[in-house]
Every structure is written in C-alpha cells, then in structure tokens.
Amino acid sequence: MEITEILKKYGIRHTQPREELVKLITTFPMRHFSVEDVLCCLKRTKSAISRASAYRSVSLFVKKGFLRGVDLGCDFQMYEIAAVNEHHDHLYCQTCGCIIEFKAPAIERLQTRLCRSKRFFPLNHILRISGICAQCRAKKRR
C-alpha cells in the first residue's frame, strides 16, 4: 500500500513529516521498535523531523490504529504495525531484548472458556512472557 493511501486509510492528515515517518516505519528492519529506534534511523538519513514531532506522530498513529503499543515491561514503549497480522503474543528476553512473536490457539481457547465461565466479555488481552532466550542461556553456560 502506498504511503498516502495508508495515511488516508487511518484518517491521518497528510504532512511531509508524517509521510516520512510512515515510509520509515513500513520499511523498518525490525518488526518491533521504539521511538528512539525511529529517531536513530531519522538521524542517519539527516531528517529534519524533531524528537517531539516523532513522539507526537507515533502517539497519533497509535490513536488512529496504524500502530499498536507492545508492553514488554521495560523502561520504554515498543510499537508494531497493527494491521500486519492477527492477534499474537510475545516472548521477551530480558538479557538481549529480543522479541519472539507466537500464536497459541490452545491459550486463546482457554482464555475464551475462562471468560465465558466468569460471564466476562473480553475486549482485548495481552500476554507477555519475560525470560531469557536460548542464545543468551547458551552464552551464560559457556
């Protein structure tokens, strides 16, 4: 999808900085990123977008549904493109910071049964498992 189409689809007013940010985000090498990651890339491209403008735009992108915040329990907020795929959860390595996405239909079914049994209507849920990835564990053993 073209950048202007993305902005239009999510009802985001078109400005040059927003266009530049959407272009960067949609071609970002990492699926999960922080605003600081975005700012580092902007710095390398010698972009004129200010730190404040980047933070405001990312906040707007979340509000409009283009981005989704990913709470990893770390000191900063991570984001991902909301429309890329359906619901998934995250494994987060506290040592190296890697993020592993996973889908677990059995967990989804259990959550659905639990909500029904409690007569509770879920609007959304977040499952994040923090720990140490296999590579970091292997390094620790050496």
The residue extents of the domains of the chain are 1-84, 85-142
**DSSP letter at 77?**
-
C-alpha to C-alpha distance for 1 and 129, rounded to whole angstroms: 33
- The pLDDT value given to residue 84: 61
Share of the chain above pLDDT 70, in %: 98
- The pLDDT value given to residue 85: 62
Residue with tokens 């735009």: 57
- The pLDDT value given to residue 1: 77
Reported CATH class of domain 1-84: mainly alpha
Reported CATH class of domain 85-142: alpha beta
Question: Cβ–Cβ contacts within 10 Å for residue 23, how many?
Answer: 13
Q: 78 — phi, psi (to 5°)?
A: -105, 160
- The pLDDT value given to residue 77: 87
pTM exceeds 0.85: no
- The pLDDT value given to residue 29: 77
pLDDT tens for each residue of 24-62: 999 987 788 999 999 999 999 888 899 999 999 999 999
Q: 128 — phi, psi (to 5°)?
A: -130, 125
Tokens of 126: 């977040």
- The pLDDT value given to residue 88: 85
Counting as low any pLDDT under 70, the low residues of the chain are 83-85
